[in-house]
Amino acid sequence: MASVDLRGLTKRFGALAVVDNVSLKIDHGQLVCLLGPSGCGKTTTLRLIAGFLEPSDGEIHVGDRLVSSKARTLPPEQRNMSMIFQSYALWPHMTVTENIVYGLRLRKLDRNIIAKKLAAILGTTKLEALAQRYPGELSGGQQQRVALARALIVEPETLLLDEPLSNLDANLREEMRFEIRRLHDEYRYTTVYVTHDQSEAMTTADLIAVMNGGRIDQLGTPEDIYARPESEFVARFIGASNVIKGTARDADHVSFAGATLKVVGAQLTAGQGAVVAIRQHDIGLSMQAPASSENAIKAVVTRQVYLGASRDYMVEIADGTSLRATTPTETNVPKGSEVWLTLPPERCRALSR
């Protein structure tokens, strides 16, 4: 069993804490995404797990072994992990086959076993025809598959992926996303996946840890993160959200621009400032006043763009706040018109941070 357990992990470069007291328990066989903007500490966290860096504080346990702590750090080669690098890091002086079997040769496996495993992984990654090529002769997607094969053939307890798809074009990226998930389901190793792309995280992860400023801002399933953001940062970073700032009337009502919004999510305290997030496509927009006045606000359209599958509106409310709304193409309101916005209460999430 190889669960990965980060306990109060901290990495400081000088005075700057790049990873700041991160605790995260990843069960065996789970795929966890570290998601966040560049500079949020996700790659540093990954390199700490791999053992390329020594923590300034905190501990990393793999299974029941302590592998990293302030006092001692097990070097990467003794961790039984594999890693796929952003640059792929394929060795240009070795053929595809030599690259892939490198780890097995280090483990001094029998020649026949190596050949058998090689054939199997070449099949899985569809690389049979390219086995004798050099990395310089492969396309980006092929290189990516070699990197994957090289990492998987050693049957690691833990697989680490550092932005593995960022160098691929959009179509290939989508295809490889599912490929990575499929291989994970097939082999069931514990996987830590670093990315800044939220849709990549959504499609591959069991759990997403959204990181910001060296800390984990929110940890949850893709659905948790998307539908129930807890902080302004997560709401803005995942999907397209409007963030409204108003004043709490009671535990689940917020006054905002003369209207009262019923909200869900965090418990509010009357009289305090409240931050509410709502997705652009959850906002209803129409010329007629809605039947119920609950959560309805009047606004003026300041911009409208036809996007093919939808329309993108920018509207302005009486107090000057601008909101964006995405509607079906049938809702066609010209710029300058007065409209009614409906913000469904179950979609208005009060944020705790």
Partner 1 sequence: MTAITTTDAPKSRLDFTRLILWLFAAFMIVLIVLPLSWLVLFAFTDKARHPTLQNFVTLFTDPAFLDPLLTTAIIATTSAVMCCIVAAPISWLVSRTDMPGRQIIRALVTASFVTPPFLGAVAWELLAAPNSGMLNQLYRYLTGAEDPLFDIYSLTGLIFVISCYTFPFVFVLVANALDNMPGELEDASAILGGKAWTTARRVTIPLALPALVAGALIAFLQAMTLFGSPAILALPAGFHTMTTKIWSLFQYPPKLELAAAAAVPLLLLTILLLQGQKFLLGRRGFSVVGGKYGPPRSIEMGGWRWAALAFCLIVLLNPVFLPYFALLNAAFSPNGTTLVTPSTATLHNIVFVFTELSSTQLALKNTVILGASTATIGTILALVVAYVTTRRVIASHRMLGFLATAPVAVPGIVLGVGLFLSYTRPPIVLYGTLWILLLAFLTINLPSAYQQLQAAFATIHPELEDASRILGATRLQSLRRITAPLLRTGVIATWCFIFIGVMRELSAAIVLFTSQTKVLSVLIYDLNESGDLAAIAVLGIAMLVITFAVVLAVNRIPMFGGAGARLRNS
Binding site for partner 1 (CB under 8 A): 50-52, 64-67, 72-83, 85-93, 102-103, 106-107, 134-136, 138, 143, 150-151, 154, 160
SS3 state at 195: strand
Spatial distance between the Cα atoms of 256 and 268, rounded to a whole number of angstroms: 14
Is the CB of 87 or the CB of 302 nearer to partner 1?
A: 87
Shortest spacing between CB 295 and partner 1, in angstroms: 51
Min dist. Cβ of residue 84 to partner 1 (A): 9
Closer CB to partner 1, 12 or 298, in the complex: 12
Collect contacts of 288-291 with beta carbons under 8 A, ≥24 apart.
Answer: 288/340, 289/340, 290/340, 290/342
CA distance 334 to 199: 32
Residue type, 131: A
In the bound state with partner 1, the residue whose beta carbon lies nearer, of 154 and 244, is 154
Q: CA of 171: how far to CAs of 174, 177, 308, in Å?
A: 5, 10, 20
Nearest distance from C-beta of residue 119 to partner 1, angstroms? 19
In the bound state with partner 1, the residue whose beta carbon lies nearer, of 30 and 68, is 68
CB of 190 to partner 1, least distance (A): 14
CA distances from 79 to 42, 103, 158, 159, 309 (A): 20, 13, 9, 11, 48
Q: Is residue 315 a contact partner of residue 341, using CB atoms and an 8 Å limit?
A: yes
Backbone phi and psi for residue 55, each to the nearest 5 degrees, phi listed first:
-70, 150
Q: Which is nearer to partner 1, 144 or 241 (CB)?
A: 144
Nearest to 28 by CA among 6, 1, 60: 1
Q: Smallest gap, in angstroms, from Cβ of residue 39 to partner 1?
A: 19
- CB of 106 or CB of 119, closer to partner 1: 106
Least CB distance to partner 1 at residue 91 (A): 6
